[in-house]
A and B are shown apart, each in its own frame.
Chain A
Amino acid sequence: MEAELINAELVLPTHFSFKRIQIYEKYPKGQPRGRWKHLKQILQAENYQNHPPDEPNYVNIESPPSMHPPMRICDITGFEAPYHDPRTNLRYANTDVFKLVRSLPNEYVQRYLALRNAAVTLK
């Protein structure tokens, strides 16, 4: 290790005195690290359906879809956008922006749509 790295103590040491089981014992080198369950799997395993529905749990307290009318803003400039381009599915505010929208290569169109979670994903 280079001297300045040791001085800066950048790297996490592998052995700690206050630990009962060191990390290299728990996760031996070379073996595949444990597969951790993601949140979705954890929630599935919780089996919230079996519990009474009144009781609050992680899934219960999620907020419902919004009741307010959705705000439509132009994808590119951020202004108010009453118009919508059927070919690219982008929203635009006026004719100048429309010219820009039509001249964008497909990659950029998809990225703009992905901002809104509206991109076309091919599975």
Chain B
Amino acid sequence: MPFISQIKRQTDYNLFSSTTPIVIDNGASNFRIGWAGENDPRVIFRNIVQRPRHKTTGETVSIVGDHDTTLLKYFDCSRSGPRSAFDSNVVYQFEIMEYILDFGFDRLGANGSEIDHPVLITECILNPVQSRSKMAELLFETYGVPSVAFGVDAAFSYKYNQQHGICDKDGLAFCPGFTTTHVIPFIDGEPVYKGCSRTNIGGYHVTDYLKQLLSLKYPHHMARFTWEKVEDLKMEHCYIAPDYASEARLFQKGTKEAEEKTRCWQLPWVPPPVEEPPSEEEIARKAAIKERQGQRLREMAEAKRSSRINELENQLRGLEFLLHQLEQVEESEVQYFLRETGYVSRQEIESALAKVTQSLRKVKGEPKGEQAEAEEKTDEKYPLVSIPDNMLTPDQLREKRRQMFLKTTSDGRQRAKQKRVEEDLERERKNQLDEQKRLENPELYLGEMRVKYKELCEKVEQRKRLKTNGNHSNGNGMSGGVGRGERLNAAQRERMRLLTTAAFDRGKGEDTFGAKDEDWQLYKLMSKDNDDDDEGLDEDETELARVSSRLQEIDPTFVPKPESGPSQPAADIPRSRPLTKEDFQILLGVERFRCPEILFHPNLIGIDQAGLDEMAGVSMRRLPSKDQVLEERLTNSILMTGGSCLYPGLGERLEAGIRMIRPCGSPIKVVRALDPVLDAWRGASVYAAAVQFAQQTFSRMDYYEKGEDWLRRYQFQYTL
């Protein structure tokens, strides 16, 4: 049941006389305040303070207790976490304590010039005197309280239950709280502090353990596991197993009982909208649209082509006319004529003409008969190549060199084209073979493809992992990376080698690397090595892409595995299949009883102290008088109180544990307090309402006169 805080401002403050004490139960989890003599505290809230900054005004404000998260959006809560005044169960931060007391008194309705009522406040057992004195000072100085009394909350709870007959006047009180667990023996109604024992495990540790376990098990839902939510889960689902080992075995075997015991928390999840197969008309409509678009594209292409043809024909006509004119013109006027038209010589005009005719033919779609033409032209273009060197003038030599260069380049281009054609043919042949194989034996082919795909995937991923691992180790420990030779890949090893040899090659004992310019060429070598590695990877990747595309074509059930980023091992849900409802379920199986187990075995968390059942033995051993009868009386009335004792199954487990350490046959009776959470306050309230309460308090004068030593020895007398 989730905790609901009561913080409504009370209006009847003035109805209470000055002698009515105010009772405060100052616990590490909750702060309860109310009037003496009543059955329930008036105001209850979580004992934390937040100090966020307002987003728009920028001022820092204080917010006490747990509040509605929707209202908190006005504040920037990132820099301030919730802060508590407690360190383990002792108050140490009195500024926060002051905020909390402010809030508590304010909601109780206080409105005078000072708090004019005696105050009874609870503290932990054997509170250090510093904490006690600072608390007293705070109450006296700042709030003007006339008199103050300190008491232990577990003792109040025990006395309350004793009055109601739940437990006897001799007994043990077990008090698992929020940060600590106490065991206190009571003899004749008074707590015997010598026999107390305390273990630093409480509800806080259980919640923290559960939170960490869930975060580790479901890393992609980590944002969901807030402290409050986990506490709710703990209160609802956790229980204590009567015997841990046998419960664990149940779950390990996966029996039906274990299934029933597993609780499931379904996170809100919206399934992706299912795409309905498009209906007939949809398909028809889409096809029509596609047709129309295709038609439009074709028309546009046609139009473009015809316009280009026109243009080229015009050009052709123009050039022919020009040539014609040139023939008619006389010799002397050739130069002049040519200059006007913009062409330098007749050959140029002719070559332009030839080009235009060629492109015209290409556009019109005629076969490439000009291939032969081109070849002839090449022979014509390089007339000088065939003539040997010694017969040419220097000008002609230069000309020849140019022509040779041109020839080799065009030859190279021809060869490249040839090779490409051959490769294409090769690929075609391979594809045909593939097709044949597929048609013969589809199953086998599919199997082979899948295997090949998996292998390639693994290889690529491994390469990537090595690379990033190498990079990470490089980035982190380059200075100390000498000893990790076996992990660096080839490129990095090469780099190291180059660097070390460069450093060594220079003069003995002196590092003159960099004095000469050639030294820096070293780095060019190194980066080249890195590039080589990349290229090697590309082959595998292209092969992988090809195989995966083939598989996608032929295999309807194949889903390509996306290349997961190298630095996200478990951040996303592995999306090798579409997300299902189960991905968003949080299963609480073993955790249900594993977490409260730390109350009995604190070494599961690493805290090396005794668990609950052992603490009973410790406590009894510490008692000053070793009396068998007394011990039997103690175990005969064992009271469980405190917030963390609400787990189902705690009583039986405690009884079993204590039976193990007591002699056979001794009476053991374990009872739970009437209301473990509120009983401490109720007990304190009953006390404060009694007449003799006034003698137990100490006033301001007492505090200043008698000093610290007296304060240390001050103890509340519980039997009145």
Whether A18 contacts B608 by the Cβ 8 Å rule is no
Chain A contacts for B249, CB-based, 8 A: 79-80
| B220 touches A (CB below 8 Å) | no
Asked whether, in the complex, the Cβ of B144 is within 8 Å of the Cβ of A12, the reply is no
Among candidates A58, A60, A68, A118, residue contacting B127 with C-beta atoms closer than 8 Å: A58
List B contacts of A98 (CB < 8 A): none
Check if B601 is an interface residue, CB within 8 A of chain A. yes
Residues of B close to A60: CB separation below 8 A = 126
Tell me, rounded to whole Å, the shortest Cβ–Cβ distance linking A53 to chain B. 11
Question: Taking the nearest CB of chain A, how far is it from the CB of B449, in angstroms?
Answer: 28
B335 in contact (CB, < 8 A): no
Q: Mark B591-602, 1 if CB is under 8 A from A, else 0.
A: 100100100011
- Asked if A19 contacts B143 (CB within 8 A), the reply is yes
Interface residues in A36-72 by Cβ distance below 8 A to B read 36-39, 42-43, 45-46, 54, 56-58, 60-68, 70-71
Residues of A within 8 A of B216 (CB): 76, 108, 111-112
Which A78-110 residues sit within 8 Å CB-CB of chain B? 78-80, 93, 105, 108
Report if B197 contacts A (CB, 8 A): yes
- With both beta carbons as reference points, the residue of chain B lying nearest to A54 in the complex is identified as B194
B141 cross-chain contacts in A, Cβ below 8 A: 20-21
Nearest CB of A to B605, in Å:
6
Which one, B72, B105, B611, contacts A16 given CB within 8 A? Answer: B105
B196 touches A61 (CB 8 A): yes
> When chains A and B are docked, how far (Å) is the Cα of A116 from the Cα of B93?
29
Distance in angstroms from A110 CB to nearest chain B CB is 11
Closest-CB distance, B659 to chain A (whole angstroms): 14
A105 contact set on B, CB distance < 8 A? 569-570
Q: What is the CB-to-nearest-CB distance from B564 to chain A, in angstroms, rounded to a whole number?
A: 13
The answer, among B71, B102, B252, B604, for a CB contact under 8 Å with A12, is: B102
With an 8 A cutoff between CB atoms, is A123 at the interface?
no
Q: Which residues on the B side are within 8 Å of A8 (C-beta)?
A: 68, 71
Interface centre among A46, A77, A111, A116 (most CB of B within 10 A): A77
A16 touches B102 (CB 8 A): yes
Partner of B199, one of A1, A63, A70, A79: A63
Q: Is the CB of A66 within 8 A of B105?
A: no
Interface centre among B63, B99, B251, B606 (most CB of A within 10 A): B606
B409 to chain A, nearest CB (A): 55
Distance between Cα atoms of A120 and B600 in the complex (Å)? 26
Partner of A66, one of B67, B144, B602: B602
Considering the complex, which residues of chain B in the window 154-197 have a beta carbon less than 8 Å from any beta carbon of chain A? 193-194, 196-197
A76 to B214, CA, bound (A): 11
Decide if A61 touches B125 in the complex (CB within 8 Å).
yes
Q: Is the CB of A42 within 8 A of B128?
A: yes
Cα(A57)–Cα(B98), bound, Å: 26
Task: Give the nearest-CB partner of B591 in chain A.
Answer: A78
Contact yes or no, A70 B603, CB < 8 A = yes
B72-131, CB < 8 A from A: 72, 74, 87-88, 90, 92-95, 98-99, 102-103, 105-106, 110-115, 125-131
A118 partner, pick from B93, B245, B606, beta carbons under 8 A: B606
Please tell me the size bucket of the interface on B.
Answer: 35 or more
The answer to the question of A28 belonging to the interface, with a C-beta cut-off of 8 Å to chain B, is: no
Neighbouring B residues of A17 by C-beta, 8 Å: 110-113
B142's partner among A9, A20, A62, A67 (CB-CB below 8 A) is A20
CB-based nearest A residue for B246: A80
Q: What CA separation (Å) do A1 and B61 show in the bound complex?
A: 11
A45 (CB) vs chain B CBs: closest residue = B130
Task: Provide the residues of chain A in CB contact with B114, threshold 8 Å.
Answer: 18-20
What CA separation (Å) do A79 and B597 show in the bound complex? 13
- In the bound complex, how far is the Cα of B197 from the Cα of A66, in angstroms? 13
Complex CA gap A77/B570 in Å reads 18
B209 pairs with A115, CB closer than 8 A:
yes
Complex alpha-carbon distance, A115 and B57, angstroms: 41
Considering the complex, give the chain B residue whose CB is closest to the CB of A9: B9
Given known contacts A5-B74, A61-B125, is B98 in contact with A20 (CB within 8 Å)?
no
Q: A57 → chain B, closest Cβ, in Å? A: 6
Contact of A31 with B by CB under 8 A: no
Question: Chain A contacts of B128 at CB under 8 A?
Answer: 42-43, 46, 58
Q: How long is the Cα–Cα vector from A2 to B608 in the complex, in angstroms?
A: 50
A63 contact from B67, B68, B615, Cβ within 8 A: B615
Contacts of A112 in B (CB 8 A): 216
Taken together as a complex, chains A and B put the C-alpha atoms of A27 and B138 apart, in Å, by 14
Shortest B348–chain A CB gap in Å is 71
The verdict on B673 contacting chain A, using a C-beta distance below 8 Å, is no
Q: A18-B105, A36-B92, A77-B590 are in contact. Are A67 and B610 (CB under 8 A)?
A: yes
What is the CB-to-nearest-CB distance from B54 to chain A, in angstroms, rounded to a whole number?
8
A36-B93 in contact (CB<8A)? yes
Contact call B92/A56, Cβ cutoff below 8 A: no
Smallest CB gap from A77: residue in B: B590
Contact B615 A12 (CB under 8 A): no
Residues of B within 8 Å of A121, CB to CB, are none
Question: Quick check: B252 and A79 within 8 Å, CB to CB?
Answer: yes
Which residues of B have CB within 8 Å of A19? Answer: 102, 114, 142-143
Give the nearest-CB partner of A94 in chain B: B252
Are B99 and A12 in contact, with the CB atoms below 8 A?
yes
Task: Report, nearest first, the 5 A-B pairs whose CB atoms are least far apart.
Answer: A117-B606, A78-B590, A39-B87, A63-B197, A56-B193
Q: Could you show 23 A-B contacts with beta carbons less than 8 Å apart?
A: A8-B68, A9-B9, A13-B106, A17-B111, A18-B114, A19-B114, A21-B142, A23-B95, A23-B102, A37-B92, A38-B87, A56-B196, A62-B609, A63-B198, A65-B608, A66-B602, A67-B610, A68-B601, A68-B614, A70-B601, A70-B603, A73-B244, A115-B606
Instruction: Using A10-B72, A18-B112, A62-B199 as known contacts, list a sample of 17 further A-B pairs with CB atoms less than 8 Å apart, ordered by residue number in A.
Output: A5-B74, A10-B63, A10-B68, A17-B112, A19-B114, A19-B142, A21-B142, A58-B128, A63-B197, A66-B603, A67-B610, A73-B244, A73-B594, A73-B604, A77-B252, A78-B590, A118-B606
